[in-house]
Amino acid sequence: MQLTLWTYEGPPHVGAMRVATSMREVHYVLHAPQGDTYADLLFTMIERQDRRPPVTYTTFQARDLGGSTAEMVKDAVAEAWERHRPQAMLVGESCTAELLQDQAGTLGQTLGLPIPVVPLELPAYSKKECWGAAETFYQLTRAVLADRVPPPGTVRPTRGEGVRPRANLLGATALGFRCRDDVVEITRLLADLGVDVNVVAPLGASPEDLRRIPEADFNVDLYPEVSRTLCGWLQRAFGMPATRTIPMGVNGTRAFVAEVATLAGLSAESFLERERPGEAGLDASRSRLAWYSRSVDSTYLTGKRVFIFADATHAVAAARIAASEMGFTVVGLGTFSREFAREVREAAREHGVEPLITDDYLQVERAIAEAAPELVLGTQMERHIAKRLGIACAVISSPIHVQDVPARYSPVYGFEGANVLFDSWVHPLVMGLEEHLLQMFREDFEFNDRAPASHLPVPARAPQPADEALAPPGAPEPAAAPTAAPAWSSDGELELRKIPFFVRGKARRNTERFAQERGIATITVETLYEAKAHFGR
Amino acid sequence: MTDLSALPPPASGTCTERPRSPVAVLRERGQREVFCGLTGIVWLHRRMQDAFFLVVGSRTCAHLIQSAAGVMIFAEPRFGTAILGDRDLAGLADANDELDRICVELLERRPDIATLFLVGSCPSEVIKLDLAKAAERLNARLMPSVRVLNYSGSGIETTFTQGEDAALRSMVPVLPSDDDRRLLVVGSVADVVEDQMRRVFDGLGIGPVAFLPGRRAADLPAVGAGTRVLAAQPFNGETVRALLARGARMLEAPYPLGAEGTTAWYAAAAREWDIPEATFEAVTRPLAERARRALERYRPRLDGRSLFLMPDSQLEIPIARVLAREMGMRLLEVGTPYLDRQMVAAELDLLPGAPVLSEGQHLERQLDRLRAARPDITVCGLGLANPLEAEGHATKWSIELVFTPIHGYDQAGDLAELFVRPLERRARLAV
């Protein structure tokens, strides 16, 4: 039993939903009690999906537990087939259904539907979301490719003369971090190298697309948390090699280009000629990061203490970028992905810090407080922690919130991704000269180290009596002539305090205007509500 | 421990049947797109400032609450989840020890907590982890500084707001007994709404008045033959029936939503307290007129528009009544997760026309009906809102009706405004 306030990962069936929701022509029947449908809102609200996730829930209740729950699974599968006609169906259970032991997956298969029905066994009490996504992606692909696996020992035919090499981009999912834009960025990068993309999956793929996976020359293991399991199987069953480099940061992208070139049997020489590590100037790289970091303005970034906690892939890559592309000092590195703890431990050794492998939010908070960094690179959870501790923060990994799914193009992979990282990591920090001034004049009441950086908005803070009369920032209101201002009775004032502070200023002004217009000298609770009825919200 | 298979469906067989105009009900079974009762913790832990809610459940439960709360609560929340692992499933004895350890640890961190609710979930119910026993064990150790109560917010037993009912129901046995005359308002209302209501009751000369839940869980109102129960929310049927079993009497009234419902709600108390008509008029008329003025400014935007309510919060019937009777909206379908006739008798009497009243849900069939009906506004859960908007339907999230002060005279306008906003937004946008 583990006490938790917030969790980094959902249960494994949410990982399965991420795969199903990313794809087309797939339907997932989930044996789950009433209430588990909450997971739909992760997709429709956080990621603003405009379609319901392709999931049918059995939503059983106590009265169904007498023995009819197995029938509910069969009915749900049959109904989902009738209504949606998918190319493949996933059938699985959430944590409670697992305890009922209805064997939902097997039940789904007994219906004899003319499509692959893939039973998903995702142990909810020992595994989590990312594992569930990886397992689902693997099981589904394996099922649709069952008849295409060549006999052991078959030699892969070599690519014909003059045929462009092809790669699959694997692992991008809904609710992943910036997957939508990373796929575009990497597709462009490969095209520049002379490599075509064969299949992108799960994002946007149908089961028929999955059947074309073996037609590529190699796989790009884009998000190992989701795609490593499948890449391993494709290597064993089809002899397809996969990339190991994550194309994040300038150096990561350069190394990725070199690795792709090797796998594709191409030369990256002319491509990398334009990438000149160690040289200054805007034309030393396709990314602006290299020059921006070398420009004198960035001097103040030197040795900034940064704490990194994220999924393993983004954490390890971010640590390398922080150290060698931004000139920061890594003071903490960790992950909640236990499946990839080894990689993070190795990286932590590289940076000379203790690795933090945990999914306990409180432990992460303690570690950050102890390390006292100037910048936290983390997830939505670290955004909470950093806010509480008053530390700058940028989000680099799922779990995410709605603001981490921006409308604009903002990959974190590839050369453009490096630009995005530079901007988003530098933005929360106090800028160079401002930092100096802060140290010179420490007693200024408006401009001190407790105030946020001058280019950042003033954060909402706890209401203080002195604030209440203030207009919102940017809209200073001239003080009313003292003679005309109506007075607030103590009960009126008290009632006003019950109004949330972010609208209190408006309520105060409206009420005073209302009272003034009607010649009311003292504002009571009644005046407040009369005014509210008059003006509306 | 409840024997799950022996549980009757919610509220059936316990209604006090009286001759009423029959309301035809479409009963549906199938996928239900609703939250489970654990969601109630999101507002209950704010309403009762000295209470902590510890869910004993799975990773799914923890994920649900943080998703429903939008991961937006920056302060350390007064709720948490004790996540069951493989080891707990293997040995229940160890699970009990583990639970005790976690509770003690938790209370050491939070010395300000006076009431600890152990909240059962689907998995804890299915493995028959006895939280009542656990509460007993912990009470022996922790009373009087902390009282431990338990209830189930599981999806197999509770739907969304029913979680509040289960929480309040668990408090009823520990309420002190006396037969003094008092008014007990049952159901969470916003703090500001409680204060307004107290002022009106004071003005009418009705008192003493207690609220369940109050601002502090440790301040328990007494209950007995003199207690008159006035429900502020329609989803607390089991709590009300438990109070009746302790001698209280229920004042039947519509809910204090909209000007009309609020007046009728106060009137039910006024009749019981024999308040003279003139006093009632003097106190409520100006307030009701003010509420009507507030509603009037929004009425032109809603008048004649059609409304479809998916089942979710149990507030569907009273909300439909306000919007139909006071704002002139046309009701196409009023869905409710379950129909507790005792709790909505007065509401059903007021519901105009012959809308489809549906109980339970078959999501896909209901969406078919919705698409065919093409309502002007649809009330639905968060999972459905964006997909319906993308299909061209204006929506209102039902969870907003639970998280926003909408009760009483001075919130009547706010309630209407919630429904005007999606239309207003669509009118503004030209993209």
Before B208, cis peptide (omega within 30)?
A: yes
Per-residue pLDDT of A112-145, as tens digits, reads 999 999 999 999 999 999 999 999 999 999 999 9
Question: So what's the pLDDT on residue A219?
Answer: 98
B9: left (phi over 0), alpha (psi -120 to 50) or beta: beta
Q: What does the buried/exposed string (b/e) look like for B224-260 if buried means 16 or more CB atoms within 10 Å of the residue's CB?
A: beebbbbbbbbbbbbbbbbbbeeebebbbbbbbbbbb
Which residues on chain A are in Cβ contact (under 8 Å) with B35?
A: 35, 37-38
Asked if the model's pLDDT at residue A430 lies above 80, the reply is: no
Q: Confirm or reject contact between A38 and chain B (CB < 8 A).
A: yes
* Residue closest to B233 by CA, chosen among B177, B193, B270, B196: B193
| Contact criterion met (CB < 8 Å) for A11 and B63 | yes
User: Closest-CA residue in chain A for B87?
Assistant: A1
Question: So what's the pLDDT on residue A472?
Answer: 37
Model confidence, pTM: 0.90
Per-residue pLDDT of B120-148, as tens digits, reads 999 999 999 999 999 999 999 998 999 99
Instruction: Please state which of the ranges A153-162, A287-296, B384-393 shows the lowest mean pLDDT.
Output: A153-162
DSSP-H helix ranges across B273-403: 277-296, 299-302, 316-325, 341-350, 363-373, 382-390, 399-403
User: Closest-CA residue in chain A for B72?
Assistant: A384
User: Closest-CA residue in chain A for B80?
Assistant: A5
| Contact criterion met (CB < 8 Å) for B85 and A384 | no
Which residues on chain B are in Cβ contact (under 8 Å) with A387?
A: 74
Mean pLDDT of B380-396: 95
Beta bridge partner(s), residue B397: B380
Per-residue pLDDT of B198-241, as tens digits, reads 999 999 999 999 999 999 998 999 999 999 999 999 999 999 99
DSSP assignment of A318-376 equals HHHHHHHTS--EEEEEEES-GGGHHHHHHHHHHHTS-EEE---HHHHHHHHHHH--SEE
Q: Confirm or reject contact between B191 and chain A (CB < 8 A).
A: yes
Q: Give the pLDDT band of residue B12 (cuts 50, 70, 90).
A: very low
Q: Give the pLDDT band of residue A4 (cuts 50, 70, 90).
A: confident
CB–CB contacts below 8 A, A to B = 220
A171: left (phi over 0), alpha (psi -120 to 50) or beta: left
User: Closest-CA residue in chain A for B190?
Assistant: A498
Asked if the model's pLDDT at residue A476 lies above 80, the reply is: no
Per-residue pLDDT of B147-177, as tens digits, reads 999 999 999 999 999 999 999 999 999 999 9
| Distance separating alpha carbons of residues A172 and B406, to the nearest angstrom | 43
Q: What does the buried/exposed string (b/e) look like for A209-223 if buried means 16 or more CB atoms within 10 Å of the residue's CB?
A: bbbbbbebbbbbbbb
| Distance separating alpha carbons of residues B416 and B431, to the nearest angstrom | 26
**In angstroms, what CA-CA distances link B81 with B36, B54, B115, B376?**
15, 6, 16, 40
Asked if the model's pLDDT at residue B84 lies above 80, the reply is: yes
Which residues on chain B are in Cβ contact (under 8 Å) with A4?
A: 62, 80-81, 83
Q: Which of A283, A297, A444, A449 is catalytic?
A: A297
User: Closest-CA residue in chain B for A29?
Assistant: B31
DSSP assignment of B263-293 equals HHHHHHHHHHTT--HHHHHHHHHHHHHHHHH
Asked if the model's pLDDT at residue B71 lies above 70, the reply is: no
Mean pLDDT of chain B: 91
Two tokens, residue B385:
């809102």
Question: So what's the pLDDT on residue A464?
Answer: 42
Q: Which of residues 62-101 of B touch A (CB under 8 A)?
A: 62-64, 66-68, 70-71, 74, 76-77, 79-86, 88-89, 95, 98-99
Asked if the model's pLDDT at residue A15 lies above 90, the reply is: yes
Q: Give the pLDDT band of residue B73 (cuts 50, 70, 90).
A: low
Q: What is the largest CA-CA distance in chain A?
A: 95
CA distance A73 to chain B (A): 11
| Contact criterion met (CB < 8 Å) for B390 and A37 | no
Bridge-based pairing of strands B377-380 and B395-397 is: parallel
Q: Which residues contact A356 (CB under 8 A, 6 or more apart)?
A: A309, A332, A333, A334, A335, A363, A364, A367
User: Which secondary-structure segment (H or E) carries A310?
Assistant: strand A305-310
Residue A429 contacts residue A304 (beta carbons within 8 Å): yes
Question: So what's the pLDDT on residue A205?
Answer: 98
State the CB neighbour count (10 A cutoff) for residue A346. 11
Per-residue pLDDT of B302-350, as tens digits, reads 999 999 999 999 999 999 999 999 999 999 999 999 999 999 999 999 9
Which residues on chain A are in Cβ contact (under 8 Å) with B74?
A: 384, 387-388
Question: So what's the pLDDT on residue B116?
Answer: 97
Mean pLDDT of A83-98: 97
Question: So what's the pLDDT on residue A481?
Answer: 43
Of B8, B88, B413, the CB nearest to A533: B413
* Residue closest to A117 by CA, chosen among A144, A145, A82: A144
**Is residue A470 classed exposed, middle or buried when 0-12, 13-18 and 19+ CB atoms within 10 A define those classes?**
middle
A268: phi then psi, degrees, rounded to nearest 5 = -100, 10
Per-residue pLDDT of A233-256, as tens digits, reads 999 999 999 999 999 999 999 999
* Active-site residue, A64 included: no
Q: Give the pLDDT band of residue B3 (cuts 50, 70, 90).
A: very low
Domains delineated in chain B:
4-22+175-280 (3.40.50.1980), 37-157 (3.40.50.1980), 291-430 (3.40.50.1980)
Question: So what's the pLDDT on residue A449?
Answer: 59
Best residue in B12, B386, B388 for a mutation probing chain A (most A CBs within 10 Å): B386
Q: Give the pLDDT band of residue A500 (cuts 50, 70, 90).
A: confident
Q: Could you give the 3-state DSSP secondary structure of residue A486?
A: coil
CA distance B226 to chain A (A): 32
Q: Kindly provide the ipTM of the predicted complex, given to two decimals.
A: 0.91
Between residues A154 and B250, the one the model is more confident about: B250
Question: So what's the pLDDT on residue B9?
Answer: 38
Q: Which of residues 316-355 of B touch A (CB under 8 A)?
A: none
Between residues A99 and B67, the one the model is more confident about: A99
User: Closest-CA residue in chain B for A387?
Assistant: B74
Q: Which residues contact B426 (CB under 8 A, 6 or more apart)?
A: B394
Two tokens, residue A128:
């989590």
Residue B229 contacts residue B244 (beta carbons within 8 Å): yes
Which residues on chain B are in Cβ contact (under 8 Å) with A51?
A: 387, 390
Single-letter amino acid, residue B259: A
Residue A321 contacts residue A252 (beta carbons within 8 Å): yes
Mean pLDDT of B269-297: 97
Instruction: Please state which of the ranges A428-437, A498-507, B297-306 shows the lowest mean pLDDT.
Output: A428-437
Asked if the model's pLDDT at residue A104 lies above 70, the reply is: yes
Q: Could you give the 3-state DSSP secondary structure of residue B135?
A: helix
Residue A528 contacts residue A507 (beta carbons within 8 Å): yes
Q: Could you give the 3-state DSSP secondary structure of residue B117?
A: strand
User: Which secondary-structure segment (H or E) carries A168?
Assistant: strand A166-172
Residue B320 contacts residue B309 (beta carbons within 8 Å): yes
Q: Confirm or reject contact between B293 and chain A (CB < 8 A).
A: yes
Which residues on chain B are in Cβ contact (under 8 Å) with A41?
A: 67-68, 381-383
| Contact criterion met (CB < 8 Å) for A34 and B34 | yes
Beta bridge partner(s), residue B148: B116
DSSP assignment of A176-206 equals SSSHHHHHHHHHHHHHHHT-EEEEEEETT--
| Distance separating alpha carbons of residues B52 and B269, to the nearest angstrom | 33
Q: Which residues contact B3 (CB under 8 A, 6 or more apart)?
A: none
Best residue in A21, A37, A71, A82 for a mutation probing chain B (most B CBs within 10 Å): A37
Best residue in B63, B74, B409 for a mutation probing chain A (most A CBs within 10 Å): B63
A17: phi then psi, degrees, rounded to nearest 5 = -65, -35
Two tokens, residue A37:
């449908």
Asked if the model's pLDDT at residue A475 lies above 90, the reply is: no
Q: Which of residues 354-393 of A touch B (CB under 8 A)?
A: 380, 384, 387-388
Per-residue pLDDT of A196-236, as tens digits, reads 999 999 999 999 999 999 999 999 999 999 999 999 999 99
Q: Could you give the 3-state DSSP secondary structure of residue B201?
A: helix
Mean pLDDT of chain A: 90
Question: So what's the pLDDT on residue B353?
Answer: 73
Asked if the model's pLDDT at residue A462 lies above 50, the reply is: no
Per-residue pLDDT of A511-530, as tens digits, reads 999 999 999 999 999 999 99
Per-residue pLDDT of A160-208, as tens digits, reads 888 999 999 999 999 999 999 999 999 999 999 999 999 999 999 999 9
Question: So what's the pLDDT on residue A181?
Answer: 98
Beta bridge partner(s), residue B359: B27, B336
Sign of CA dihedral B363, B365, B369, B371: positive
Q: Confirm or reject contact between B37 and chain A (CB < 8 A).
A: yes
CA A195 to centroid of chain Cα atoms: 28
Instruction: Please state which of the ranges A195-204, A257-266, A316-325, A454-463 shows the lowest mean pLDDT.
Output: A454-463
Bridge-based pairing of strands B79-83 and A2-4 is: antiparallel
Beta bridge partner(s), residue B183: B209, B228
Two tokens, residue B251:
């004042």
DSSP assignment of A81-149 equals HHHH--SEEEEEE-HHHHHHT--HHHHHHTT--SS-EEE----TTT--HHHHHHHHHHHHHHHHTGGGP
User: Which secondary-structure segment (H or E) carries B422?
Assistant: helix B412-428
